[in-house]
Amino acid sequence: MTIPSIANLRQSYERASLGENEVASDPLVQFDDWFRQALAAGVPEANSMTLATVGISGRPGARIVLLKDYSFESEPRGLVWFTNYESRKGQDLAVHPHASLLFFWPVQERQIRIEGIVSRVSAEESDQYFATRPRDSQIGAWASPQSEVLRSRDELTAREAEFAGRFKDEVPRPPHWGGYRLVPDYLEFWQGRASRLHDRISYRLEGDASWQIRRLAP
């Protein structure tokens, strides 16, 4: 078997540029602009994002979740995903509400880093989204004790059958399942450039409402 030469895997990024004078003064408007461009460019799973949290031990953990909503026109302004509140990430966020989100869109040679404070969305918001999910996913939310150790796959399918039998018609939202919203205080937009001299434009919230925009060295 041939071992691929990982050390020689490299890409030159030359598609676009990003200047401090061309970005929106509001980072969520800038996010909206890039997100729409990613969708239009056909970036696969453009709404998948890495969520990094820190647990009680101080160890960071990261996993992918799906961005399901973001609002920049109404308060609270932030990014929303849905999960099991009792999962490892749920336990982490209960002790350390600071988290980081990361998007990587290779088609456009772009990365967005977002940091901020996370809180649960309202029960009404979680109910509304849960009601739009396919029945299989709704049953799955009941069946999976996310992040817990299973004896076998059979245990999971048995739980699925149990809950499918219990909820014959409408499936209510499990109390341990719902949304989180990260309200950002730091964002960074990265555009790949030639010779590894990439563009990095950061936004930091200073005071309550004023975003400081700075260029960072790549």
Residues involved in catalysis: 196
Q: At closest approach, how far in Å is the CB of 214 from ligand FMN?
A: 32
Partners of 22 in the beta sheet?
none
| Residue whose CB is less far from ligand FMN, 46 or 201 | 46
Q: Does 173 bind ligand FMN (CB under 6 A)?
A: no
Q: Which of residues 76-95 bind ligand FMN (CB under 6 A)?
A: 81-84, 87-89
Q: Give the span between the Cα atoms of 186 and 163, in whole angstroms.
A: 41
With H, G, I as helix, E, B as strand and everything else as coil, classify residue 154.
helix
Task: Name the amino acid, one letter, at 69.
Answer: D
Which of residues 71, 111, 119, 147 is near ligand FMN by CB under 6 A? 147
Q: At closest approach, how far in Å is the CB of 45 from ligand FMN?
A: 6
| Residue whose CB is less far from ligand FMN, 23 or 43 | 43
Q: Does 64 bind ligand FMN (CB under 6 A)?
A: yes
Give me 115's structure tokens.
């940091």
| Residue whose CB is less far from ligand FMN, 65 or 117 | 65
Listed residue (144, 84, 66) closest to 120, CA to CA: 84
User: Using CB under 6 A as the criterion, what x/- string covers residues 1-40 for binding ligand FMN?
Assistant: ----------------------------------------
Look up tokens 């990265």; give the residue. 190
Residue 38 and residue 46 in contact, taking contact as beta carbons nearer than 8 Å: yes
Residue 100 and residue 52 in contact, taking contact as beta carbons nearer than 8 Å: yes
Which of residues 29, 56, 66, 158 is near ligand FMN by CB under 6 A? 66
Which residues, at least 6 apart from 9, have a Cβ–Cβ distance to it below 8 Å? none
| Residue whose CB is less far from ligand FMN, 63 or 159 | 63
Give me 69's structure tokens.
């909503």
Q: Give the span between the Cα atoms of 89 and 54, in whole angstroms.
A: 8
Give me 119's structure tokens.
């809180």
Q: Does 47 bind ligand FMN (CB under 6 A)?
A: no
Name the residues that contact ligand FMN, by CB under 6 A.
Answer: 45, 48, 61, 63-66, 81-84, 87-89, 146-147
